[in-house]
């Protein structure tokens, strides 16, 4: 699903609540920055309108200590970064379709239904990003056995194909809007 690039002011389509953005938004940007972690923080700052202080939960899930009502998730891959902002728990992941895939990972990490679906690299990456988004939303990360997490048919995970990347977001999926911006 290709969504139009977002132009102009990057907060012009948000739903204000007390002067703050509270819509469920996934922010995507292509970048050639050598430091992907810095690029994803820059994207988050753009999404929020300020440079936030991040803290991390026991399993590495980032959060905004000054804004507990706002949930975030961050991800990056070679050439692109993504962040999700929501008033509810959220997880996001991104992978490049150009990435080399080891299909044997599916044998130990995918459910039988997911293995049946993931017959090629593109489908593998769709399942993989959905799994990562789910475990990020949950907050326990990879402490969850991936082969017990079924992502096929879930309505709380949305997957987008954008400019050679697959992006999956887990949350109130029907509410998410994808914004493509330039860093």
Q: Is the residue at 55 inside a domain?
A: yes
Q: Is the residue at 10 inside a domain?
A: no
Q: Is the residue at 168 inside a domain?
A: yes
Kindly list the distances between the CA atom of residue 70 and the CA atoms of 23, 64, 120, 129, 172, in Å, as whole numbers in the listed order.
10, 7, 36, 22, 14
Q: Is the residue at 11 inside a domain?
A: no
Q: Is the residue at 4 inside a domain?
A: no
Domain count along the chain: 1
Question: pTM to 2 decimals?
Answer: 0.83
Instruction: Report d(CA 18, CA 9) in Å as an integer.
Output: 19
For residue range 8-50, list pLDDT tens digits in order.
222 222 323 333 444 678 888 888 888 888 999 999 999 999 9
Instruction: Report d(CA 98, CA 43) in Å as an integer.
Output: 22
For residue range 74-129, list pLDDT tens digits in order.
999 999 999 999 999 999 999 999 999 999 999 999 999 999 999 999 999 999 99
Q: Is the residue at 12 inside a domain?
A: no
Band (pLDDT 50/70/90 cuts) for residue 179 is confident
Which residues form the domain of 108? 22-180
Q: Is the residue at 30 inside a domain?
A: yes
pLDDT number for residue 130: 96
């Amino acid at each position: 699903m290709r969504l139009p690039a977002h132009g102009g002011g990057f907060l012009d389509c948000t739903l204000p609540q007390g002067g703050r953005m509270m819509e469920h938004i996934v922010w995507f940007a292509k970048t050639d920055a050598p430091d992907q972690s810095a690029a994803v923080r820059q994207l988050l700052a753009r999404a929020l309108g300020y440079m936030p202080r991040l803290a991390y939960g026991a399993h590495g899930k980032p959060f905004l200590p000054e804004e507990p009502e706002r949930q975030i998730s961050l991800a990056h891959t070679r050439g692109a970064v993504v962040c999700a902002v929501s008033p509810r728990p959220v997880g996001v992941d991104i992978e490049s379709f150009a990435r080399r895939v080891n299909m044997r990972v599916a044998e130990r990490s995918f459910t039988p239904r997911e293995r049946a679906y993931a017959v090629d690299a593109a489908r593998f990456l769709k399942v993989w990003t959905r799994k990562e988004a789910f475990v990020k939303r949950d907050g326990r990360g990879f402490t969850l056995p991936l082969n017990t997490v079924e992502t096929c048919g879930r309505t709380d995970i949305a997957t987008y194909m954008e400019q050679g990347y697959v992006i999956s977001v887990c949350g109130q999926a029907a509410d998410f809007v994808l914004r493509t911006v330039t860093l």
